[in-house]
């Protein structure tokens, strides 16, 4: 096949195989992701038939992880992370330590060295974010307290793995492996300095994400949204997600997934976050499928024949050992049994970080190639079985609740309620912000029924285009003869329009200044505030741009302007003949 179409072939065949086998898996009452994994196995280099470009597929899968973590970040604020720190931080650290020790024990049993055991144990200690999110979404648990704890737990694990990726090259020789290149060791820096530099980079990244990002990213989104171009807005959302993910990896040394997650957290501070989530969702779904396909491509089925006991032992550690460890940690921290079972089931698998660690271990001469194959085989099988494990955890919770209702209802209740209240406050603030936005939209339509002619997205765009302005009683808002700079919408207060035929009072809901914008001429009257006034001003450029995209709105404004012009002319004529004078309620 020509090199020019390798990308097209990889994506096309991946989607076709995944769609067909995903449907077959669903008909067999299995999770669709099982079909995606089988599709990858069939496309991999270890099975006959079509062989896809595994390197290219891996990069496409990384984009899926980035977009998925970005979507999670859009609905997971920094306050959520702080709320679950009491269980996520100690839980993740303790489980990594215990699972790594068990992995070292298995490696010693097989005759591997300490370095191989550490790499093997670390690879089995960290769970897959993609798999966990899929399971939580399918069970509607992502926004629950247990779901928040599980996601926060994984974020802490990701941060710990970033540190492990820095330490392994520096410690390779001490652990019996090969000396890493200077680039991998941080240009030959001493170990303590390399660790300090890594922590400094991660700290700098956190500061940038928490303090600088929320000031820049929402402003940038608003700036782009004001252009009215939906494709440009979508492009900007993706540019921010991928740009921050890549930049954080290159500059601060954190993973793509972690960088994308914090990009989503930063963007969640914007009122436009719901639009960003909706626009990126189709790409998230498509590329997350490629993640599972690429995992399947890495799998060598012959390992099941060559090392069956090693695969079974690793699986027991992942599914049983890690689940028990997670369950006991949550219970010992005095949180409910239901939460402990949800966390234990959801984290009983391994994924993307495991592959990275295994690959690094092989390149450093720490982990044998069979060890990498065992890790990949364990990942494939644990990912496939994870929905069943989670279903079993739910069934066990139901049994415990029925068998020991008092224990199930009261154990860990106090801490769970405290965590629930904290998360509820965060959720209430988010919902209050969304309600405020909806109220602004509703008030806009109620005050100015004219805008009911455009759709909801366009109404949101109007809120971004409007420039608020105020005026004190007696202040001149508009001067006759000036060039038209914008159209004014009166939201509160009252103004007086000084026309040749007499003064006309305008109340909230009225607008003025459109004639000069439509004709390109000068202002034809003075407008004076006679009360404390609040305006929404649509500037000339924004008026022309917005009405060009909504000709029905421009037509309505033009028709009102024509009627006003005729009425003003009639009033002027009647002013010239006092016996026929009538006062019109119309303004400019």
pLDDT tens-digit series, residues 238-283: 888 888 888 877 877 766 777 887 788 788 777 777 777 777 778 8
Q: HSE-up of 184 (CA within 13 Å, CB side)?
A: 17
pLDDT tens-digit series, residues 183-227: 444 445 566 776 677 778 777 777 777 777 777 888 888 888 777
User: How many CB atoms sit inside 10 A of residue 254's CB?
Assistant: 25
Instruction: For residue 506, give every residue at least 6 positions away whose Cβ sits within 8 Å of its Cβ, in sequence order, or none.
Output: 490, 494, 495, 496, 497, 512, 587
pLDDT score of 69: 75
Mean pLDDT across 83-108: 92
Helical packing angle, 369-403 and 114-125, nearest 10°: 40
How far CA 489 is from CA of 39, 327, 455, 478, 527, in Å, comes to 58, 60, 19, 13, 13
- Assess contact for 523 and 416: CB atoms under 8 A: no
Mean pLDDT across 318-335: 94
The more confident residue out of 268 and 103 is 103
Mean pLDDT across 52-56: 78
Q: Which CATH architecture has domain 453-580?
A: Sandwich (2.60)
The percent of residues above 90 in pLDDT, for the chain, comes to 18
pLDDT score of 587: 38
Mean pLDDT across 495-513: 83
pLDDT score of 318: 94
Token pair for 558: 């033009």
pLDDT score of 19: 93
Q: Look at residue 533 and give its three-state secondary structure.
A: strand
Q: What is the CATH number of domain 3-43+56-425?
A: 1.20.1530.20
- Least confident span in 99-113, 272-286, 316-330: 272-286
pLDDT score of 184: 42
- Least confident span in 119-123, 439-443, 477-481: 439-443
In angstroms, rounded to a whole number, what is the distance separating the alpha carbons of residues 567 and 572? Answer: 9
Please work out, in degrees rounded to the nearest 5, the angle formed at the alpha carbon of residue 329 by the alpha carbons of 99 and 374. Answer: 20
Mean pLDDT across 80-104: 90
pLDDT score of 427: 78
pLDDT score of 335: 92
Question: In the structure, what pLDDT confidence band is assigned to residue 175 with cuts at 50, 70 and 90?
Answer: confident
pLDDT score of 416: 86
Question: In the structure, what pLDDT confidence band is assigned to residue 344 with cuts at 50, 70 and 90?
Answer: very high
pLDDT score of 437: 67
pLDDT tens-digit series, residues 354-386: 887 888 888 888 899 888 889 989 988 998 889
In angstroms, rounded to a whole number, what is the distance separating the alpha carbons of residues 264 and 284? Answer: 13
Mean pLDDT across 563-567: 73
Question: In the structure, what pLDDT confidence band is assigned to residue 28 with cuts at 50, 70 and 90?
Answer: confident
In angstroms, rounded to a whole number, what is the distance separating the alpha carbons of residues 481 and 170? Answer: 75
The domain segmentation of the chain, as residue ranges, is 3-43+56-425, 453-580
Instruction: For residue 419, give every residue at least 6 positions away whose Cβ sits within 8 Å of its Cβ, in sequence order, or none.
Output: 83, 84, 86, 87, 145, 149, 335
In angstroms, rounded to a whole number, what is the distance separating the alpha carbons of residues 484 and 538? Answer: 11
In angstroms, rounded to a whole number, what is the distance separating the alpha carbons of residues 378 and 351? Answer: 9
How many DSSP H helices and E strands does the chain contain? Answer: 25, 8
User: How many CB atoms sit inside 10 A of residue 551's CB?
Assistant: 10
The more confident residue out of 117 and 588 is 117
> DSSP 3-state helix, strand, coil percentages of the chain (rounded to 5)?
70, 5, 20
In DSSP terms, 536 is beta-bridged to: 468, 489
pLDDT score of 181: 53
Q: Look at residue 127 and give its three-state secondary structure.
A: coil
**What is the edge-to-edge ordering of all strands in the sheet holding 526-529?**
476-478, 526-529, 495-499, 502-506
**Is pLDDT at 106 greater than 80 in this prediction?**
yes
């Amino acid at each position: 096949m020509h090199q020019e179409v390798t990308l097209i072939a990889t994506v096309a065949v991946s989607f076709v195989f995944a769609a067909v086998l995903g449907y077959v898996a669903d008909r067999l009452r299995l999770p669709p992701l099982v079909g995606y994994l089988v599709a990858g196995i069939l496309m991999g280099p270890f099975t006959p038939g079509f062989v896809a470009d595994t390197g290219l597929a891996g990069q496409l899968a990384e984009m899926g992880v980035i977009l998925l973590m970005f979507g999670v970040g859009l609905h997971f604020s920094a306050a959520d992370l702080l709320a679950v720190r009491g269980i996520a931080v100690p839980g993740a650290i303790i489980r990594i330590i215990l699972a790594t020790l068990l992995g070292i024990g298995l490696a010693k049993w097989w005759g591997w060295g300490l370095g191989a055991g550490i790499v093997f144990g670390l690879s089995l200690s960290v769970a897959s974010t993609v798999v966990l999110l899929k399971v939580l979404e399918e069970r509607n648990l992502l926004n629950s307290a247990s779901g928040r704890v599980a996601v926060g737990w994984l974020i802490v694990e990701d941060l710990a793995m970033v540190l492990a990726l820095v330490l392994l090259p520096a410690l390779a020789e001490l652990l019996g492996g090969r000396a890493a290149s200077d680039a991998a060791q941080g240009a030959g820096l001493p170990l303590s300095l390399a660790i300090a530099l890594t922590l400094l980079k991660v700290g700098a990244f956190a500061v940038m994400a928490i303090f600088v990002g929320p000031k820049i990213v929402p402003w940038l989104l608003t700036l782009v949204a004001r252009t009215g171009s939906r494709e440009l807005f979508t492009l900007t959302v993706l540019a921010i997600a991928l740009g921050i993910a890549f930049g954080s990896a290159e500059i601060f040394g954190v993973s793509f997934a972690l960088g994308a997650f914090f990009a989503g957290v930063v963007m969640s501070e914007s009122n436009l976050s719901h639009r960003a989530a909706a626009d990126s969702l189709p790409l998230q779904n498509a590329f997350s499928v490629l993640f599972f396909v690429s995992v399947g491509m890495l799998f060598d089925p012959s390992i099941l024949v060559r090392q069956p006991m090693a695969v079974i032992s690793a699986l027991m550690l992942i599914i049983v050992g890690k689940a028990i460890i997670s369950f006991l940690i949550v219970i010992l921290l005095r949180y409910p049994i239901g939460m402990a079972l949800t966390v234990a089931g959801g984290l009983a698998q391994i994924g993307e970080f495991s592959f990275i660690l295994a690959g690094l271990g092989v390149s450093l001469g720490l982990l044998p190639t069979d060890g990498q194959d065992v890790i990949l085989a364990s990942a494939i099988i644990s990912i496939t079985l994870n929905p069943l494990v989670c279903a079993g955890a739910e069934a066990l919770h139901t049994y415990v609740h029925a068998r020991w209702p008092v224990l199930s209802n009261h154990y860990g209740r106090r801490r769970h309620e405290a965590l629930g209240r904290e998360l509820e406050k965060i959720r209430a603030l988010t919902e209050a912000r969304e309600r405020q936005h909806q109220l602004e939209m509703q008030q806009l339509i109620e005050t100015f029924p004219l805008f009911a002619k455009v759709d909801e997205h366009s109404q949101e765009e109007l809120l971004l285009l409007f420039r608020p302005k105020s005026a004190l009683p007696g202040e001149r808002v508009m001067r006759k003869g000036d060039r038209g700079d914008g159209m004014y919408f009166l939201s509160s207060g009252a103004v007086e329009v000084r026309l040749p035929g007499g003064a006309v009072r305008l109340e909230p809901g009225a607008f003025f200044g459109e004639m000069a914008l439509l004709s390109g001429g000068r202002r034809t009257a003075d407008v004076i505030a006679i009360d404390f006034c609040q305006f929404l001003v649509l500037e000339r450029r924004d008026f022309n741009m917005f009405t060009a995209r909504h000709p029905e709105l421009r037509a309505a404004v033009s028709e009102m302007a024509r009627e006003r012009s005729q009425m003003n002319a009639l009033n002027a004529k009647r002013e010239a003949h006092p016996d026929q004078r009538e006062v019109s309620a119309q303004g400019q």
